[in-house]
Amino acid sequence: MTLPEPDAIPAGYVSRPVERWRQGRVSRQDDCVAEEVPVAMAYNGATFAVMMATPHDLDDFALGFSLSEGLIDAPPQLLGIESRTLLEGIELAMQVRADAHGAHLGRERERLLPGRSGCGICGTRELEHAIRQPPPVGAGHAITREALERALRELQSRQPMNAATGAVHAAAWAGRDGQIVLVREDVGRHNALDKLIGAMRRAGVDPGDGLALVTSRASYEMVTKAASAGIAILAAISAPTALAIELAHSAGITLVGFTRPGSHNVYTHPSRLPSHPRREPS
């Protein structure tokens, strides 16, 4: 693999020396490794959570996280975002309108622990805050299985950070024809989806007019975030959990798992992904 020149390495991964062993031989090279830093999400001066995240597309992260966590109901409530680089990490200092939930953070809404890159509810104080019933999504539009396959193929070449490091997840949005429109990457699968949600809202994307594709399992939190954004079809490379299936069913989301070339499983609301089985000759 040819590494990019130092000035060409984007935020999100860095170059580090490594001893590479291959079939009994060692070579000293520079390798690209993903960045993972604490990112504090602060609203009107009050910190809500500290997420371990990749420091890239942070404005999208701030907006998507704020929407999916219910701290704002709509983008106009987020008045400003200031990214502050500190010794300990990065603070996303957000100003929200007085009518936003994020403007009134009480101790019952604060997270006590950092959100690990693989965790969506780390630090949640009460059990009732851990499981959020997602709102129902709209009717959405059906897509073909060919469109799903196209999105899967295109995504393989649309993950520059993962191609360099092999360490990050991606969340992508594709139109009804399966063409990838937006991709966001992060070491945390929840963070990648939050970034995608933020990018979709900034671009004015209709969440019922296509599908979201994620390179991870479909956990409860991924379904909840998709529902909060109104995403009608969520496809995951890996498996769903039982709770994710239940929540997708109640929210009206078409949940697809084990999305691979030539195969996938549809767990809920299959009408948006109609089957056209091949008829065997009699």
Identify whether the C-beta of residue 256 lies closer than 8 Å to the C-beta of residue 270: no
- Tell me the pairing of strands 210-214 and 233-236: parallel
Alpha carbon distance 61, 192 (integer Å)? 8
Catalytic residue among 58, 119, 255, 273: 119
Distance between CA 62 and CA 278 in Å, rounded? 45
Q: Is residue 92 within 8 Å of 100, Cβ to Cβ? A: no
Does residue 28 sit in helix, strand or coil? strand
Residue of 48, 46, 36 lying closest to 12 (CA atoms): 36
Q: Has 32 been annotated as catalytic? A: no
3-state secondary structure of 145: helix
Pairing of strands 233-236, 254-260: parallel
Task: Please list, residue by residue across 226-258, b when 16 or more beta carbons sit within 10 angstroms of its beta carbon and e when fewer do.
Answer: bbbbbbbbbbbbeebbeebbebbeebbbbbbbb
Q: Quote the tokens at residue 16.
A: 């580090």
Query: Residues with catalytic annotation?
Result: 119
